[in-house]
Chains A and B, each alone.
Chain A
């Protein structure tokens, strides 16, 4: 396709959108960042000037068309600008996860052959320098925060501000070249390359074109009526497709303002100060906020606690209906109004959700109680289902049709079909171009007609047309006696208990199911404190008999609930253990987006799984752990294995 900037003058690239925004809403805030205790802001005109200076500087450094520019760091305006500046030069930005260890980073840098790396600070620069022996493609490293880098050898190292200054100085020489490069960008040229964390194997580079990003941004912005007045808080990893769509795609399309927090530890304060109108978070974040609120309410005075409990009960009763515009009696409305005055309003303000108009959660199933809690407060929290390969959006929940057990209807322009095996396929303008340097994977995921396999098993609910996801297709299996095995279904039920952070259920080709449980240190730690249970470490707390007893109760409750589903009643957990360490992405047990990597856990904890099935009541184990700086250590523990009572569905029927 020969659609280019010059030919059509259309909005077919991010730099083109930038030019439009600078022209049409030049004085409107585009980016804000809290630094030195103050929110600093940049208008679209200023943003455009900063990005152009950086692009000119990159040209002067020798960025060529088709180069890959890696970007590593936390959400900061200058790093978002770097991505657009790279695009202006005809290069492809590749954002990386900032918490990746050097080894993971080496693979990605090598795979895309990045000539340039733009890193946020010394920590990231150190990682890139460390892997120089293995990765030879990196020619220049540009850093944002000069702290601690003064003494480094600067032959290949540049401060971002210096690069911009050089760009400004060289503008007369470079302007024409840059304009030529910008106007040469086509709609089907690569906009960004994102590495998927992948629950199995090596990460894959997903190539997304300008068409993918802009069409997806356009459609989703229309779906939720997003305009230039929205405020978002950019705090999710920049390497994740969602952040790219929200902070760049939709941000540039609608012209809304992207706010970057001061740092990870100030998130809660910054969220409250900004009060976003459009907010996205994975279920885990909502869970954590709810746990914090609940813990603090436990510590509140008796009157406050009563006030909270009374009005929350009322909110649960009528809140969701009010949000969906269903009829509610005048008395209930008045009580809700009172509740809003005393409880919901202040609570939403504390959480930073006062102004949220559209909130989304995705990535994992969210517990119905958690979901309902936020909705009953009047926060329009919805679910969506998406993938990197789809430029995020596959299905979304329209306003008024929100439920915790579905993921919504196909987004605008998205087609969905379920194949015979139950796997979900989709086709949309957002469908990725290819996996970089990996035609086999591309071919096995995307067929000639553009249908993409999600790898998830699900079905379309009759009547509503909503999609429901059961599990990862490849994780769904059969037990030894032929009954259906869907681990995710049980794991989610377990995870809905605040005490349980993570769980992994086993049972494929086995006689019965077993589980690993990870306790939630915040919730269980608080409970321990309340009950005068002393503990010195995570490991000690996780192995405490009282904790085990509490977890056992949760497991048995889940078993009762699972037994009610005839198809999945075989998935009840017969035996379980509480792990002595938290599953961690640094140890490869989770992906960077915190999804369980089943195969790796199965291999690594092989001894524990054996013990779960050989009837032993305790097991001694040694586990290798990786510290944040990449060093490795070992922890040892003796774990107790417990039996949980199960419900026999056959017996239940007979009794009735």
Chain B
């Protein structure tokens, strides 16, 4: 792999573009606790980027920084070549960043379809009164958005539960619905927080296939946190390894696998 500023070609022949998002010297503190210590890395257009590390390494905090939920005390977030000011999460969403959550955060009483429709909210312009009347523009808008949502439902193979309330679904399917909602926003960058946590082997295989298909079909850039090493090494193009808030490795799965610091972090070596 030769990396240039224009991008690189992966082992399986995919073209990866330039830098989409860059984290520059991020430090995040909660009171006296430093969750992230001076971390820099970039995410390139079209790639699948994994963030891994032992429990408490600061992975989820990192994802929350990207999604605008946490504001780092130091460092800069660059998106699309410009520095991002401190933003509210909804503003970040409007910029084209969507995410799923480690603990599922769906509207339990609503149907799958309606849950996925909420993912389209950032793309809707009519107000509540217009939607209540459901006439003219509001109707047109809903039809357009429904079409996009139906394509995603088809893509993720959840047609049979379209009208089922989310609360009645098993865990694995809820995860898929969450992915569907994130996709409905047609994000440029998709953040997945432990998409396979608590799944059995078959469900993991399904989810991996969906993640690869999403990347392939829509060209979506994906940043994911995952514990399952097998999954991470198979899926991702490049991996950032964190431990105790520090970056201890960054590179292709093979490079990371052979990195002594990473091996130490996972097998356990006394920290100073």
Contacts and interface: CB of A to CB of B under 8 A. Distances in A.
Are the chains A and B members of one assembly? yes
A36 B216 contact: no
Contact of B155 (A35, A147, A150): A147
Contacts of B159: 37, 262-263, 265-266
Contacts of A38: 150
Contacts of B14: 151
A150 B160 CA distance: 26
Interface in A378-399: none
Q: Of residues B146, B154, B159, which shows the largest number of chain A Cβ atoms within 10 Å of its Cβ?
A: B159
Contacts of A265: 159-160
Contact of B160 (A35, A147, A151, A263): A263
B166 to A, nearest CB: 17
B213 A148 contact: yes
Contacts of A623: none
Interface string B206-219: 00010001001100
Interface string A231-243: 0000000000000
B13 interface: yes
Nearest to A122: B213
A269 B164 CA distance: 12
Contacts of B155: 147
A266 B147 contact: no
Contacts of B217: 147-148, 150
Contact of B213 (A36, A147, A263, A269): A147
B80 interface: no
Nearest to B155: A147
Q: Of residues B154, B209, B213, which shows the largest number of chain A Cβ atoms within 10 Å of its Cβ?
A: B154
Interface string A241-262: 0000000000000000000001
B157 interface: yes
Contacts of A262: 159-160
Interface string A150-182: 110000000000000000000000000000000
Interface string B166-209: 00000000000000000000000000000000000000000001
Interface string B151-166: 1011101011010000
Nearest to A264: B160
Contacts of B113: 37
A262 B154 CA distance: 9
B24 to A, nearest CB: 33
B55 to A, nearest CB: 30
B160 A269 contact: yes
A287 B21 CA distance: 57
Contact of B154 (A36, A148, A269): A36
Interface string A137-154: 000000000011011000
B176 to A, nearest CB: 13
A151 B147 contact: no
B193 to A, nearest CB: 25
A39 to B, nearest CB: 13
Q: Of residues B12, B14, B113, B213, which shows the largest number of chain A Cβ atoms within 10 Å of its Cβ?
A: B213
A146 to B, nearest CB: 9
A35 B159 CA distance: 9
Contacts of A35: 154
Interface in B69-115: 113
Given A262-B159, A269-B160, A151 B216 contact: yes
A263 B216 CA distance: 23
B216 A150 contact: yes
Given A262-B159, A263-B160, A266-B160, A37 B153 contact: yes
Interface in A259-278: 262-263, 265-266, 269
A36 B160 contact: no
Given A147-B213, A151-B216, A36 B147 contact: yes
B188 to A, nearest CB: 19
B150 A263 contact: no
A148 B210 CA distance: 10
Given A150-B216, A150-B217, A36 B157 contact: no
Q: Of residues B146, B147, B155, B160, which shows the largest number of chain A Cβ atoms within 10 Å of its Cβ?
A: B160
A268 to B, nearest CB: 9
Contacts of B160: 262-263, 265-266, 269
Nearest to A151: B216
Interface in B3-24: 12-14
A321 to B, nearest CB: 39
Interface string A34-63: 011110000000000000000000000000
Contacts of A37: 113, 146, 150, 153, 159, 162
B13 A36 contact: no
A265 to B, nearest CB: 4
Interface in B116-163: 146-147, 150-151, 153-155, 157, 159-160, 162
Contacts of B150: 36-38
A263 B13 contact: no
B216 to A, nearest CB: 6
Given A37-B162, A151-B13, A151-B216, A263 B157 contact: yes
B212 to A, nearest CB: 8
Nearest to B160: A265
Contacts of B146: 37
Nearest to A266: B160
Contacts of B12: 151
A259 to B, nearest CB: 15
Contacts of A147: 155, 213, 217
A148 B208 CA distance: 13
Nearest to B212: A148
Contacts of A36: 147, 150-151, 153-154
Nearest to A265: B160
9 contacts: A37-B146, A37-B153, A37-B162, A38-B150, A147-B217, A148-B213, A148-B216, A150-B217, A265-B160
Interface of B: 12-14, 113, 146-147, 150-151, 153-155, 157, 159-160, 162, 209, 213, 216-217
The 6 lowest CB-CB distance pairs between A and B, nearest first, are A36-B150, A265-B160, A37-B150, A266-B160, A262-B159, A266-B159
